[in-house]
Amino acid sequence: MEQVYRTDLKLLRYFLAVAEELHFGRAAARLNMSQPPLSLHIKELENQLGTPLFVRHSRSVALTWAGKILMEESRRLLAMATASLARVEQIGRGEGGRIELGVIGTAMWGRMRPAMHAFIDANPNVDIHFREKSPGLQLALLERHELDAGIWRMAQDLPQGMVGIRLHEAAFLVALPEDHPLSRTTTIPLEALRDEYFVTLPSVHSDWAFLQRVCQRAGFAPMIIREAVEPQTVLAMISMGLGITLMADSYAQMQWPGVVFRPLRERIPADLYVVYQPACATSTVMKLVQALTQ
């Protein structure tokens, strides 16, 4: 069975002072204590380890081989302990730590991008782990405390204990091939898309579960003929004339050859929210929420 050592860090600090000074009197003065208690602590450490650490002479001490090894290990262990405790203090002040952040892919563009970029630059000790998940899965992970916060669109009617703060307003647009007849209109009624072929992102990783419900309320089910994992792949297929799609307006900020974006006559909101549980949010998480909502 593996030996369990109960030596505390204080004994290692006492030992290291004596090992570096090679004199109990000077070590005691350095530690701001008297020499007899220091000698007792070193003896206690030797008894715990079952080996002498010093060769004691009448006017000096020398390290044994075991003592030399322990001096190297003590320096390493104490440095690690100091770094670990400093890290915990940083986390307590909201200056460090890890954030498990759920996102939908379309949230990473638009106005959230510069806000997130600024937060990362200002907080280099915070490690944000982005987890691309559907809104439903993010909600489940939040309830199981496997996510610290989640970001998705139209996060309303949340369970008790969760808060959703709107980051900014947005809307869904129709993305069309540039030669599509509807591209010549200023606004497009949702019903006009009834007979169109749709190219979409998988609903498990995007807003499409929500958009399908919107279409169904308008009286039709979208005819989805292709799915692609990446939004740029969806837009590439649209540029080839393979179909149309509904996509958040953040994508219209970029140039996509062969693709045009048109607003819907009946606005479909795509407002982005950050969702978290205040009761268990760390100061680091709250700092991120504040940065995104400013």
Residue 20 has pLDDT above 60, yes or no: yes
First and final CA of the chain: distance in angstroms? 56
pLDDT reported for residue 2: 53
Residue 162 has pLDDT above 60, yes or no: yes
- Residue closest to 245 by CA, chosen among 182, 168, 156, 167: 182
18: left (phi over 0), alpha (psi -120 to 50) or beta: alpha
Mean pLDDT of 242-257: 90
pTM metric for this prediction: 0.60
Write the burial class of residue 94 (CB in 10 Å: 0-12 exposed, 13-18 middle, 19+ buried).
Answer: middle
Residue 254 has pLDDT above 90, yes or no: no
State the span(s) of the chain assigned CATH 3.40.190.10: 97-169+271-293, 172-263
- Kind of pairing, strands 163-168 and 272-276? antiparallel
Contact, 115 vs 249, CB < 8 A?
no
Lowest mean pLDDT among 91-100, 137-146, 161-170: 91-100
State the span(s) of the chain assigned CATH 1.10.10.10: 9-93
Tell me the CATH number of domain 9-93, given options 1.20.120.140, 3.40.50.970, 1.10.10.10, 3.40.50.1220: 1.10.10.10
Report domain 97-169+271-293's class. Answer: alpha beta
Q: Which helix (DSSP H) or strand (DSSP E) does residue 275 occupy?
A: strand 272-276
269: which DSSP letter? B
Q: How long, in residues, is the chain?
A: 294
244: which DSSP letter? B
Name the fold adopted by 172-263: D-Maltodextrin-Binding Protein; domain 2 (3.40.190)
229 falls in which pLDDT band (50, 70, 90)? confident
